[in-house]
Amino acid sequence: MKELLLADSYSSRGDRPMARGYAIVDKIPSVLRARSGMLMAAASRLGPLLVFVLWTMVTVVLPGSDEGGWQPSRLGTAAAVTEEEHCTVERRAHLTYPEFMQHYAFLKPVILQGLTDNSKFRALCSRENLLASFGDNVVRLSTANTYSYQKVDLPFQEYVEQLLHPQDPTSLGNDTLYFFGDNNFTEWAPLFQHYSPPPFRLLGTTPAYSFGIAGAGSGVPFHWHGPGFSEVIYGRKRWFLYPPEKTPEFHPNKTTLAWLQEIYPSLAPSARPLECTIQAGEALYFPDRWWHATLNLDTSVFISTFLG
């Protein structure tokens, strides 16, 4: 049976020890629950408002409490992957449009921070909210190899509840299906209208959205297309990028996870791509015709804005 993944379109600057943190955090929920029980017993005598405040203080530290119901990566899974040792893509907070045009628009990728507030859109993209609003919608998936042809239609709820899981490292790209660019914009308009894309445009282009959800270890192998932005709403997405004149070494029918495990370690430093992990709330700009591959480190929710 083919593995189905709703994910990256062809289109969470967390601390690096995050993955190791889970090994520690997973050991403490029972302690927190015991402590919360004592707090709640004491607070119940002081009124419901204090009960709510104390409960909020306890639950905010539980793992996954701010992941919108989407499963973060866990150590020990077959698809467990980590962030790069060194991010080689510039991060810019509050970049101006003249700076964007002069230094990045036609030259190199950049990670944008602090340009938009998508907190409302993020809330709408929680697992519970998306299933309630779009669970019956039929979504179209395409194969996750460099040259995609096969397509499969299925209800969004079926994908989320039954098929969203970490990537099998042995799966080929043509056995892994992604949702990329086939959004029904009429059906998804109630969601997309709340998204604020990066405010930068290129002359003669029109923005178009592509929305996706993908499991840990999934991703799209190297490909290229026109310029655009990709923002992570939940999770983390690792990117690998080469300029147009530098064709990467890769197999078009192998997944990014397989490439990372089999080819990446043998690359000379001069042959390695630009790379960085995009965190929730950040957006990556990729210029026209730049080769890029993606790898989701957690269950990730993301949206791309293509400048076509």
Give tens-digit pLDDT for 7-23: 444 443 333 333 333 33
For residue 276, tell me if it sits in a domain. yes
User: What count of Cα atoms within 13 Å lies in the side-chain half-sphere of residue 89?
Assistant: 29
Distance CA 215, CA 296 (A): 7
- Which residues form the domain of 173? 3-11+69-307
Is residue 190 assigned to a domain? yes
Residue 6 has pLDDT above 60, yes or no: no
Residue 299 located in a structural domain: yes
Let me know whether 145 and 293 are in one domain. yes
Whether residue 230 is contained in a domain is answered as yes
Task: Report the pLDDT value the prediction gives residue 181, as an integer from 0 to 100.
Answer: 60
Q: Do residues 167 and 37 share a domain?
A: no
Distance CA 141, CA 148 (A): 10
Q: Are residues 155 and 289 in the same domain?
A: yes
- Position 5 scores a pLDDT of 42
Instruction: Establish if 176 belongs to a structural domain.
Output: yes
Rounded CA-CA distance 273/266 in Å is: 13
Residues 6+ apart with CB under 8 A from 305: 197, 198, 207, 208, 209, 228, 229, 230, 231
Q: Is residue 93 part of a domain?
A: yes
- Residue 210: which CATH number? 2.60.120.650
Average pLDDT over residues 233-259: 93
User: Are 45 and 194 members of one domain?
Assistant: no
Q: What is the pTM of this model?
A: 0.76
Question: Both tokens of residue 161?
Answer: 């509840």
Same domain, 187 and 272: yes
Q: Same structural domain for residues 245 and 190?
A: yes
> Which region, left, alpha or beta, applies to residue 219 given φ > 0 means left and ψ of -120 to 50 means alpha?
left
- 83 and 37 in a single domain? The answer is no
Looking at the fold, whether 288 and 157 belong to one and the same domain comes out as yes
For 303, the enclosing helix (H) or strand (E) is strand 300-307
253 and 159 both lie in a single domain: yes
| Residues 81, 104: Cα–Cα separation, whole Å | 29
Q: Given a cut of 60, is residue 83 above it in pLDDT?
A: yes
Shared-domain flag, residues 187 and 129:
yes
Same domain, residue pair 251 and 191:
yes
Domain count, the chain: 2
Please check whether residues 53 and 124 belong to one and the same domain: no
Q: pLDDT higher for 3 or 200?
A: 200
What does DSSP assign to residue 297?
Answer: S
**Residue 16 within a domain:** no
Q: Are strands 3-4 and 176-178 parallel, antiparallel or unpaired?
A: parallel
Per residue in 130-164, pLDDT tens?
999 999 999 987 765 556 567 889 899 998 888 78
Neighbours of 160 (CB within 10 A): 20
Within-domain flag for 22: no
Q: How many CA atoms lie within 13 A of 103 on its CB side?
A: 12
Phi–psi pair at 294, nearest 5 degrees: -125, 155
**Residue-level pLDDT at 150:** 74
